[in-house]
Amino acid sequence: MQGKPVVSLVVPFYNEGATIEMFFDAITSAIDNIDAVEFEIVCIDDGSKDDTLARLLAVSRSDSRVRVIELSRNFGKEAALTAGLDAAIGDAVIPMDADLQDPPELLVQMIDRWRQGADVVLARRTDRHGDSMAKRGTANLFYRIHNRVSHVEIPSNVGDFRLMNRASVDALKRLPERQRFMKGMFAWIGFRTEVVDYMRPARASGTSKFTGWKLWNFALEGFTSFSSVPLRIWTYIGLCGTLLTLSYLAFIVIRTIIYGIDVPGYASLLVSILFLGSLQLLSIGILGEYIGRIYMESKQRPLYVVRQTYGDNHES
């Protein structure tokens, strides 16, 4: 790999055995036509329960560019992606998914932009017809809300698929948090950034591992990782509630002085108690999200555990 710059492709796998042959056929077809750089393909098996690892090892034995990192269990995509970034040795690193929704033919454009001076090259989805209408709508809503409340703006319709030079990868590796929201971390480091657009195809095989519940928790992770606005909002809600209460108290006192004492209604009292109680529980839940993050960070556990690495004389 000496003499030419090296580009590392970082690909997490979790139960993707059915797509591996198609993925490597597409990848090798794309990179074999790029002569300006050398490639390594860092594959992370994130505790797959199917034959993903066996298929990856078979590929690594036939292609010296392929390295396989086997994690000791399923740690999640963010941790697997971090493991790949830590292991990549390239002058530039490109994280991508194994489902071929990140088209390999886009690699040549990204590498050209990097060689022309860009530190980071983002792949932006202009057409997400491969995703459901609900997923497209909720994704757009997430980006709008997150960018309004956070001090770090995440580019809309940009996922993990991007090229990062060595300086930006090293900067990312310096971020120590255990609860990782990679989209926000990618945006936080900055660097000179360019964008290439593409149409996002449907998955080559299988189904997404992100259920609606996981996507909701992922969105909460994004909000709490890069913004304290949810906490500040409840300060203002409490202030408004106090002012309304004092105003209502003044109204009751004045009305009592003028009209005398009456018997208040049970329904209005019950609604007021339930409403204020619900607000308190919701605010406690938001506080719990942030306290939970502090708790997880304070343990200082490693993000992932590598069981074994394979390929390119790195077996251990």
- In a shared domain, residues 239 and 189: no
- In a shared domain, residues 12 and 156: yes
- In a shared domain, residues 72 and 203: yes
- In a shared domain, residues 202 and 240: no
CATH number reported for the structural domain that contains residue 149 in this entry: 3.90.550.10
Residue 316 lies in a domain: no
pLDDT digits (tens, 9 = 90+) for 80-98: 999 999 999 989 999 998 8
State the pTM of this model: 0.68
Residue 56 lies in a domain: yes
What is residue 208's predicted lDDT score, i.e. its pLDDT?
54
Question: 247 lies in which domain range?
Answer: 229-299
How many angstroms separate the CA atoms of 161 and 106, rounded? 10
Residue 266 lies in a domain: yes
- In a shared domain, residues 82 and 126: yes
How many angstroms separate the CA atoms of 39 and 22, rounded? 18
Sign of CA dihedral 131, 135, 137, 141: negative
- In a shared domain, residues 203 and 233: no
Of 21, 197, 8, 168, the C-alpha closest to 95 is: 8
- For the ranges 69-73, 81-85, 98-102, the lowest mean pLDDT is seen at 98-102
pLDDT digits (tens, 9 = 90+) for 203-231: 555 555 555 556 556 566 655 666 666 66
